[in-house]
Structure 1
């Protein structure tokens, strides 16, 4: 299920300016339609992680980028392993 920008901002507890920064940093990659951005539940979870890293843990912008890159690598490796092991794993 996709989430509208307005719903995403509310659920992620973000303001529009912060969302724009996170998109420009490529921390979030919403789907773009002709008229709007649409967000997934995974985008919402990622936004929550970013907010917690910055506000709760005090991670700076560069650190957030490194952490997100590592998380993406981990997910990629898990997908690759799942593909090699098959559905029974």
Structure 2
């Protein structure tokens, strides 16, 4: 876990104003401790990305939210596809072959 100061040191160009705005918009979800906000390593990486989108690429707040929402959806879909793939891999060979044949018939590779 990182403190706000540690997050700011790790993310060039990111300021307290940035972080407060992103927290208010729900783009960062810090934990709270007696010392203040705490950030997991994924939050620090997300803050870097938000900073790059906002400052380096010039996206406004609405565009940043859209991009981050789309990235979150892609991440979720990749996780779900991984689960489906592992579930299929756990099936007996005839079931896996039937699934492969159906995917090929439906236009898969």
Q: TM-score range by the shorter chain?
A: 0.7 to 0.9
Paired positions, count: 87
Shift of 1:40: 1.5
Residues 1:31 and 2:31 are matched in the alignment? yes
Structure 1: runs of 5 or more not aligned: none
Q: Which has the larger radius of gyration?
A: 2
Pick 1 or 2: higher relative contact order, CA cutoff 8 A, min separation 6: 1
Shift of 1:35: 4.6
Q: TM-score, normalised by structure 2?
A: 0.70
* CA distance, structure 1, for counterparts of residue 74 and residue 16 of structure 2: 29
Structure 1's consecutive aligned runs of 4 or more residues displaced over 6 angstroms after TM superposition are none
Structure 2: runs of 5 or more not aligned: 90-109
Over the aligned positions, Cα root-mean-square deviation in angstroms equals 1.8
